[in-house]
Structure 1
């Protein structure tokens, strides 16, 4: 299991779907070379430069953190079951209550819809909260997400950045 990058009172807690196999092997979130999380954090203004996955703890100094909906690693997110996502959503709500970030940023509209039974959710700010915290759904930065190229990802992440 990969450890969360978290502390109380963060500005944004980014929440991935689940760790990939490379992340599990390295102990670093979003470690697969094709993942665009680290480049998009920089391009959207969250980080002053592009961090490497091995620098993930530096996010805490910037008021940012990382967790996942489901702890179990897999090669692809579509290997997860709906029950795993719902259970992960319940655990995430408890974690968010405990750590009280200003915003929970869920990386993937499909996992948000499944984990929290919000079938009509779209990318962007949500009306509902999770664990009493406002939610912003962002596109999944995985290289497997062909719907969003890097400029569009940076624009969506930038919308969140300008709101916190």
Structure 2
């Protein structure tokens, strides 16, 4: 006896249709999973030697990005305190050269530094005049005039140089002074400008170390004559060479290690500074990274920080709060 299939109600037909759609979706997902597995197996046969682990995985944890940034650049987070004096000394984790930090990859490939160039190469360029007078607060001592500076006749004249910007952003000048007004610094702001090497070049790498050393004695004679409160080297290489020169008579084991900022020696003058009732006066020395735009180890915020610290120590020196008794007295 035959049995007829009972007719489905409209509600049952709808439920059956939903079951069929779900079955098709499950099959589709299983197929996609199998395809993905086959794809993973196929690419595992290939190696990608040029990619780091972070480049291979586009998803990265950013929860600690702000903490990592603070650790890689502690200079920007450290408080402004004097290196010496009544307040505690702040230890900065500073690179001791102006090259790019090993942990930072340059945005573009760095051009190789130029080698030594004889004076004849730039003989057509004029030397720069010093912008100094007696008893200034700070005399900045550059490495040597750059090509652009020599062409226009003014210190730190290249548009990419950060000197004038750092001077203003640190508060050492209330406005940004253009290079063409460098000669006004002594009278307007009690600041001066000179160089350790007189002859101009396009890059400092075109000088010999012997030229730095030959410029040290004339530089100290100049500081003895003009008696500034602070003489600040713009360029860590200059500061390092001068420190080695000053400490040359000491055994190597007793020589202090070079670092940016306040240097471990001072020049004592036999006569008082203008406007001072002291029987004698001192010049202390500072070292700050090169303000050239080519400097990779220090960026503008880093340089501004050091210029600002220079201003802090200048104020402490004027107020008698910067302790200099432990600095080595030098005889140039």
Q: TM-score range by the shorter chain?
A: over 0.9
Q: Does the 8 Å contact 2:230/2:283 carry over to 1?
A: yes
Q: Which has the higher contact order (CA 8 A, sep 6+)?
A: 1
Q: What residue number does 2:264 align with?
A: 127
Give the aligned CA root-mean-square deviation in angstroms. 1.4
Which structure has greater strand proportion? Answer: 1
1:5-60 C-alpha deviation (Å, 9 max, x unpaired):
00000000001000001111111000011100000000000111111100112211
Which residue is equivalent to 1:79? 206
**Whole-angstrom distance in 2 between the partners of 1:133 and 1:95:** 12
Distance 1:23-1:130 versus aligned 2 partners, 3 A rule: farther
Contact residue 138 and residue 230 of structure 2 kept, 8 A: yes
CA distance in 2, matches of 1:112, 1:156: 14
CA distance in 1, matches of 2:297, 2:267: 26
Report deviation, 1:112.
1.7
Assess if the C-alpha contact under 8 Å between 2:243 and 2:258 holds in 1. no
8 A Cα contact 2:196 2:216, kept in partner:
yes
Tell me, what secondary structure is at the counterpart of 1:42?
Answer: helix
Q: Matches of 2:195 and 2:176 in 1, distance apart?
A: 21
1:94 aligns with 2:221: yes
Shift of 1:136: 0.7
Higher mean C-alpha deviation, range 127-136 or range 149-158: 127-136
Distance 1:82 1:69 in 2: 11
Q: Which runs of 5 or more structure 2 residues have no equivalent in the other structure?
A: 1-126, 246-255, 269-281, 315-332
State the distance in 2 between where 1:20 and 1:57 align: 17
Displacement of 1:144 in angstroms is 1.1
Contact 1:88–1:115, Cα closer than 8 Å, also in 2: no
3-state SS in 2 of match to 1:117: helix
Q: Across the two proteins, how many residue pairs are aligned to each other?
A: 164
The aligned counterpart of 1:42 is 168
Q: In the alignment, is the contact (CA less than 8 A) between 2:172 and 2:311 conserved in 1?
A: yes
Instruction: Select the residue among 129, 132, 155 that pairs with 1:3.
Output: 129
Matched with 2:183 is: 57
Q: Is 2:300 aligned against 1:163?
A: no
Alignment TM-score, normalising by the size of structure 1: 0.95
Q: Cα distance 1:53–1:87, how it changes in 2: closer, same or farther (>3 A)?
A: same
Conserved in 1, the CA contact under 8 Å of 2:212 and 2:238?
yes
Q: Please give the TM-score of this superposition, normalised by the length of structure 2.
A: 0.48
Conserved in 2, the CA contact under 8 Å of 1:11 and 1:101?
A: yes
| Partner SS for 2:144 | coil
